[in-house]
Each structure stands twice: as structure tokens, then as C-alpha cells.
Amino acid sequence: MTADRQGPASKAMIWIGWLLSVLPSLMLLFSGSMKLVKPDDLVKGFEHLGYPEHLALTLGIVEIGCTLVYLIPRTAVLGAILLTGYLGGAIATHIRLLEMQFLAPLVLGVLIWGGLFLRDPRVRALIPIRT
């Protein structure tokens, strides 16, 4: 069953979708901005993860850029794909160190796609939930 046969999304579904989209976006925008500012804790965290400090600027720009692309309705699907790749790198980094912190980027990814699923009929048509 496609999204067209399912009928239009309810207002509540769209609002919940935006809520599920904005919450992880705010976290990612904050995280990206911290990479631009580079406080001492972030530098120590990069060292712990095995990344050189100079990558913080590039990663911050990528993180903020992908998140902004995700928040624009016309480019939201592309943004979700880009954020999936970015978060996949974060998951791999934490799993490599055998750290449970890999759950945070995993949950962010689920919220990103869940929110997009609820607010975008193109995604619902692409990934139909059958009953």
C-alpha cells in the first residue's frame, strides 16, 4: 500500500514528525557548534577517540551542514541520508573502542528517519508499513 492509498497524514502525525526531527537536529547543531568552538573537554574527547584536534572544524561544518540540509523540507531526504553516514561514523568510532556511547548516535539516526517518515509522504511511499 502506498502513501497515496493511505490518505493524507494527519496534522498530529506531521507535528510529531517535526518534533522527532527537531529534537535530534538541535542536538546535532549544538554538537557541531561545540566542534567549532573547541572547548577543552572536546579536545580531550577527540584525543580519547583517536582523532586529531584539527579535524574538529571540518567535522563541525559537516555536522551543521548536513543538519541544515535535513531541516529544509525539499532536501530533507538528502539530509537524512548524509546524517546517516555521519552518525554511522560516530557509531563505528565508539564500537571500535568498545564503548556503549554508540547508542546515542544510533538513537539520533532512528529519530531522524522516524520524524522524516511521519512528516514526508515520499518517505512513507518508499518505506510502506504494511498492516
Please give the chain's pLDDT, 131 residues, in tens. 444 455 577 899 999 999 999 999 999 999 999 999 999 999 999 999 999 999 999 999 999 999 999 999 999 999 999 999 999 999 999 999 998 889 999 999 999 999 999 999 989 988 887 77
- Report the pLDDT value the prediction gives residue 9, as an integer from 0 to 100: 76
| Residue 104 placed within a domain | yes
Is 5 part of a structural domain of the chain? no
User: How far does CA 119 lie from the centroid of its chain?
Assistant: 15
Q: How far apart are CA 108 and CA 121, in angstroms?
A: 21
Q: How many domains does the chain have?
A: 1
Structural domain contains residue 27? yes
**Residue 6 pLDDT:** 55
Give the pLDDT of residue 7.
Answer: 57
Which residues contact residue 119 at a Cβ distance below 8 angstroms, ignoring those fewer than 6 apart?
A: 9, 13, 14, 17, 18, 21, 76
The answer to whether residue 129 sits within a structural domain is: no
- 87-93, long-range: CB within 8 Å, 24+ apart, which pairs? 87/112, 93/49, 93/50, 93/51
Report the pLDDT value the prediction gives residue 10, as an integer from 0 to 100.
Answer: 87
Q: Has residue 128 been placed in a domain?
A: no
- Residue 89 lies in domain: 10-123
How much is the pLDDT for 130?
75
